[in-house]
Chain A
Amino acid sequence: MKITFPHMGTIGILGEAIFKRFGREVILPPKTSKRTLTLGSRYSPEFACLPLKVTLGNLIEALENGADTILMLAASGPCRFGYYATLQNLILKNLDYEYELITLDYNMPNNLRKLKRLAKRKNCFQIGEAFRFGFLKLLTMEKMERLAHRIRPYEIKKGSTTKAYEETSRIIRRTFSFKKLRQARRKATSLLRGVSLNRTRNPLKIGVVGETYTVLEPYVNLEVERKLGEMGCEIHRPVWATDYIISMLPIFNRWGPRRKYRKAARPYLKQEVGGECIVSIGGTVLYARGGFDGIVHIAPFTCLPEIVAQGILSKVKKELNIPILTLVLDEHTAQAGLVTRLEAFVDLLERRRNKKVIGDR
């Protein structure tokens, strides 16, 4: 049994760690590339959303590499994500691929049964330990990413943070035991701390909100965060893979990390409409109150919850007086156009800040 699952930013780490501990072979799809996107869009329905196309491409590439079991998440909210697994199954079966599909959804007893089968005669303690390890590893990875976001605007040599971050990611990905992970974490932190910085700068603060997949997957959003960082902006974002997983669990769904965003979004959106709509709005409100300079809102083309968010953000923008740049991504989005828009946005924010400073005097 060779398990595979599509990429979503760094979430692959979690699955890989858990199933390696279960003693299963994991075949991660190759890094998302031009080919993934082409394959995915060739076989997907014409105006399905971008994540569906990219993840389908991931799965095809993984199956080509010899995977025979696909693991997918499937929610049952109003967002289209819940139906991905069924549809991709239909498409892949029509392409004559042979594999087994395992879906995990909100039905917890069912999930546990499925996981138990995957866990190959491991006892409950070992299963729990595997999950703990996977989660810890993902959390470590995210900590590094957060750190990279913080230091990138101060770097003296452009690209040095990204280089260091890639090295840390390699180090962390290699570890498969708690002890090694601790060592790797220490090493990775010192690597990132070793980047030479110029602390006298005063970077712009930008919040990146939007649909989970497009925010987390750097190939799909054309590395917006790195680009903004290298233009001298400090990035904060409300969407993290660990938060996403926690809020999928029954109790944390309500009380978990989404709570504060839900509360902040309440005056603008009274009902959770699925996807990350409420996080996008709540995040924007919190960042605006926290004195951020601007917001970048990322959504895939035709994304249902984010269109609702876009409509409501137009009001938030006016009331809280914060500039918002909405980037709608699809498979045709080009680098150059995006860079131009980001540069213009950053210019605007800088001017706005200078004006404010003069005005305050």
Chain B
Amino acid sequence: MAIKVGIPRALLYYRFYPLWKTFFTELGAEVIVSEPTTQEIFKKGLKKFVGDTCLPIKMVFGHVITLADKVDYLFIPRLVSIERDTCLCPHFAGLPDVLCAIMPDLPPILDIHFNVRKKGATMKSIYEAGKRFNKNPFKVYRAYQKAQREYEKFLKRIKDGITPQEAIKIFDGEEVSPPEKKKGGLNIALIGNPYTVYDSFSSLDIIQRLRKLGARIYTSEMIPDEIIEEKVRTLSKKIYWSFGKETVGSAFHFLDSPEIDGLIYIISFECGPDSLLKEIVDDKARKNKRVAYMSLVIDEHTGETGMDTRLDAFIEMIKRRRAKK
């Protein structure tokens, strides 16, 4: 029987799932993903966690609990840095240890150490993860290469203008009809950490809501890295959080691009990096008279009605602005 690897549908699932899944299936493992977040899953996690933390981390706990008795291994990588010169929030680096500390009876955690800041650590850690399934380093390497090809395809699909959620569905073999292009529709840019924006529980499915209101969605994944890099360079100090950099860079890009009508920044309450970066985006947006800007701070108590009202008002405001012109 194949070894079962569990991947929680939370945090960087929305960014790396195709890579991880292809890698493990190539090595002959069976990948099990937890169900989409629901109130029930979330509450399970909430009971376990000690202290205060942000919404995405609370959600991981719920997903891990639901997966725990179904799988042989839990895949929770220790992500210190995923690209050069930047790192992730401290929660990612400490997550496997915190999970072990709080829930001692979990199945073994595959915590591969991923730090691109240090050279060579990546290849070693990939073998580290793969050797439980296949001892042959070449096979592991080939599986990784195939995973990477699959991952690049996934990224390309996103760059073509669909959301990561839809790209994951396509990857899983589902049919996804691309959103129709309405003439005269509004173009709304959505920024924020991927694990807050694309989880339909935490963001209350904001993408579908906006589409229903007749908006076309742009996300920060659709912006090429070079543009983000260039936009961020205008700041006096480089932003050292990967997603922070992406958020701010794409926000600056959207504020400058003529086709965007509105910009929405989604922040989860208690998110460390975003609490500071919001100030920078706010400042830039305040000085920009053309693009309408709104920031939504969300937590587990955010209600659907409140969200609808705010989005309605936001869209209405943009429409009026247009009519005035």
Complex Cα–Cα for A356 and B51 (A): 29
- Which residues of chain A (229-277) have a CB below 8 Å from chain B? 268-275, 277
Partner of A302 from the list B94, B98, B236, B275 (CB cut-off 8 Å) is B275
Known pairs A275-B90, A311-B102; A80 contacts B276 (CB<8 A): yes
Partner of A307 from the list B91, B239, B275, B279 (CB cut-off 8 Å) is B91
The segment out of B12-20, B157-165, B265-273 that lies at the interface is B265-273
The size class of the interface chain A forms with chain B is 35 or more
* Minimum CB distance partner of A75 in chain B: B240
Known pairs A302-B270, A315-B104; A307 contacts B283 (CB<8 A): no
Task: Check B279–A91 contact: CB distance below 8 A.
Answer: yes
* Minimum CB distance partner of B280 in chain A: A90
- Which residues of chain A (63-94) have a CB below 8 Å from chain B? 74, 76-80, 82-83, 85-87, 89-91, 94
Known pairs A268-B101, A328-B52; A273 contacts B94 (CB<8 A): yes
User: Total interface residues on B, using CB and 8 Å?
Assistant: 41
The segment out of A46-54, A111-119, A144-152, A194-202 that lies at the interface is A46-54
For residue B50, CB closer than 8 A to chain A, the reply is: yes
Complex Cα–Cα for A83 and B106 (A): 36
Contacts across chains A and B counted by CB atoms under 8 Å: 123
Task: Check A45–B276 contact: CB distance below 8 A.
Answer: yes
Task: Check B283–A83 contact: CB distance below 8 A.
Answer: no
Chain A residue numbers with a CB within 8 Å of B139 are: none
Distance in Å from the Cβ of A306 to the closest Cβ of chain B?
Answer: 9
For residue B88, CB closer than 8 A to chain A, the reply is: yes
For residue B113, CB closer than 8 A to chain A, the reply is: yes
Complex Cα–Cα for A79 and B94 (A): 13
Partner of B279 from the list A90, A268, A316, A326 (CB cut-off 8 Å) is A90
Identify 12 residue pairs between A and B in the complex whose beta-carbon atoms are under 8 Å apart, listed by A's number: A45-B278, A45-B279, A46-B275, A49-B275, A78-B87, A78-B241, A83-B239, A90-B283, A271-B93, A308-B98, A314-B102, A328-B52
Q: Residues of A at under 8 Å CB distance from B?
A: 45-49, 52, 74, 76-80, 82-83, 85-87, 89-91, 94, 103, 268-275, 277, 301-305, 307-308, 310-312, 314-316, 326, 328
Q: Residues of B at under 8 Å CB distance from A?
A: 49-53, 78, 80, 87-91, 93-94, 96-98, 100-102, 104, 111, 113, 235-241, 269-270, 272-273, 275-276, 278-280, 283, 297
Closest 9 A/B residue pairs (Cβ): A315-B101, A308-B94, A311-B98, A273-B90, A273-B93, A304-B272, A310-B51, A273-B94, A86-B237
